[in-house]
Every structure is written in structure tokens, then in C-alpha cells.
Amino acid sequence: MSSRPELKAPPEIFYDDVEARKYTYSSRIIEIQAKLSERALELLALPNDGVPRLLLDIGCGSGLSGETLSENGHQWIGLDISLSMLDIALEREAEGDLLLKDMGQGLGLRSGVIDGAISISAVQWLCNADKSSHEPRLRLKAFFGSLYRCLARGARAVFQVYPESLAQRELILSSAMRAGFAGGVVVDYPHSSKSRKEYLVLTCGPPSINTELPKAKLEDEESCSDDESSGEEENQTVCIADRHRPRKKQKTTKKGKGREWVLKKKEQMRRKGNAVPLDTRYTARKRKARF
């Protein structure tokens, strides 16, 4: 992809009438969105009892993903920030209720009423500051906080995202963890740059059998082993993160912090995405007493 839409304009401006129509009526996009929605619905792991559920479609756009939800018999509420896209959803007679809403302002839904949430190619828009009053971290916090509240216990949220960089993926994941979600990232076809798709699977409530991450898809349709470690393995396509639960602080009697500690901290900061100076032989060297 030569350039990302998020870098061109805010979503309500980028998806104007012309672009919205182009997007919705491109057969390629329709096919891709249908596949992504099917996979997201699969990852939602709703109980297979034939009872329709109330789902949320975040960034529903012109209703392409909502169609998949309706086809599977569910009721859904869709929200999007672009009126042009929603107008097209009306044209296509989307069966879910549509809301003109900015997800970064908080969802405004009552607690525990939603049975599941999906979002196809939308959450990455939150990471950009589209207005001078925007602060992406606060918007992500408002979004994930309100989402956590409105989901029923044990419900899941599945987001198919196109993160721009590792830093952005980390930003989204850490905001979700801070809101109380557990879960991780499922990457389908990780080695193919064309078919590679990332799904952020978040669960509400304490971990249980339901919250184990599903198997990711590999190229030759074999599923990879359900490996829970997040090491540097080649075929690592599933990683698990949990909410940081605060431990009781104990008085430490350390004689200051050594080089090892400093290196560890620097590595942590790097993983967060901060700019950290390189490690050299001068890192954490002893300074003169009056430094």
C-alpha cells in the first residue's frame, strides 16, 4: 500500500461521499471485509446455541461487516464517525442500528449490555491526533474504558487492525490492558505480506478456559501450536498479555541500582516505544560523588 488513509485526513473527511461510495462498491473491498468479519466473528467465540446476541460493530462504515453479523442471525449496533459512510449503510439497508459517533469520545453505553464487539480496520484511526484538541492516549483510554464497561462478563472484543508500526500496536495493546482487558494478538498468515492480518482479541473478566487465545492460521492452512510463550520463535503468531495487577510493595534494601537494572529499564522503555539512547560502555557507569 503506497500510503495509509490515516495519514491523509481524519476519517470523517477522508470518507466523504465519493470515497465512501468507492470503498463500498469495490468488489475487492467487499470480499476482504466479508472475510475479515467472518474471521472476527469466529474469534468472538460466541456460544453455539443459536440464540442471537447483541453485538457492537465499531467503525461499521457502510455496513459491510454488519452484513456478516446479520447473516449469522445477530442483532447489532454500529457506530461510525463518517456520515457519508453511514448514509451508504442506509442505502444498503443495513439491519443494525447506526449511530454517528466518535469512538474516542467514549461509547456511552450502559454497563454489561453488549455480548460482543467487533471492529474491522477501524481502531488504528484512534492513534492519530486529527484535531489539535486530540490526545491519542486519552482517546484510547476513553474508548477502551467505556468498552470494558459496556461488555457483559466473559464477553470478547475482536479488532482487526492495520497498525502502522510496532509502537502503534504496543500503544493500542497497552491502552486495552490498562482498561482491564486480558487477551492478545492473533496473526493470520504471518509470513505473507499480502495476506497477513492481525486481530486483537480482548476478553472481559478473569482468565478462564474461554479466554485462551484461538489458533492462528498459517499459510498452508495448518494451525500452529497453541504456544503461550511470547519468545522470539519463528512461528510465534499468538501472544498473550494480561492486565498488570498491582502487587503489594515491600521495602527493598538494595544498595542502589546497578548496571543490570538500568539496562533492563532501558529495554522496557524501548518496548514501550520511547526513544532511548543506545547502550554503550558508559551506560550506568559510576559518576563522581558530586554529580
Partner 1 sequence: MRLLTHNMLSSNIKGVTNGFPLGIEVEKVIEKQVDFNPDFLKNMLLKIEWKALVDASRSLGYAELPEEAPESSVIDSDDFLRKLHHALLELHLEEGALVCPQTGRKFPVNKGIPNMLLHEDEV
List residues binding partner 1 (CB under 8 A): 50-54, 75, 77, 79, 81, 83, 86-87, 90, 97-102, 105-110, 112-114, 131, 133, 142, 146, 150, 152
Structure letter (DSSP) for residue 53: -
Cell numbers found for residue 149: 464497561
Least CB distance to partner 1 at residue 133 (A): 5
Residue with Cβ nearer partner 1 (106 or 163): 106
Residue with Cβ nearer partner 1 (134 or 215): 134
Least CB distance to partner 1 at residue 60 (A): 11
- How many C-beta atoms lie closer than 10 Å to residue 267's C-beta? 12
User: What is the spatial distance between Cα 197 and Cα 127, in angstroms, rounded to a whole number?
Assistant: 18
Least CB distance to partner 1 at residue 162 (A): 24
Least CB distance to partner 1 at residue 52 (A): 4
Residue with Cβ nearer partner 1 (111 or 223): 111
Least CB distance to partner 1 at residue 53 (A): 8
User: What is the spatial distance between Cα 177 and Cα 169, in angstroms, rounded to a whole number?
Assistant: 12
Q: Is the dihedral angle over the CA atoms 43, 46, 49, 52 positive or is it negative?
A: negative
Residue with Cβ nearer partner 1 (37 or 82): 82
Residue with Cβ nearer partner 1 (99 or 262): 99
Least CB distance to partner 1 at residue 86 (A): 6
Asked if residue 36 lies in contact with residue 160, where contact means CB atoms within 8 angstroms, the answer is: yes
User: What is the spatial distance between Cα 60 and Cα 92, in angstroms, rounded to a whole number?
Assistant: 13
Cell numbers found for residue 16: 466523504
User: What is the spatial distance between Cα 45 and Cα 64, in angstroms, rounded to a whole number?
Assistant: 20
Residue with Cβ nearer partner 1 (51 or 269): 51
Q: Using N-to-C axis directions, what is the helix angle for 166-178 and 136-150, rounded to 10°?
A: 50
Asked if residue 121 lies in contact with residue 59, where contact means CB atoms within 8 angstroms, the answer is: yes
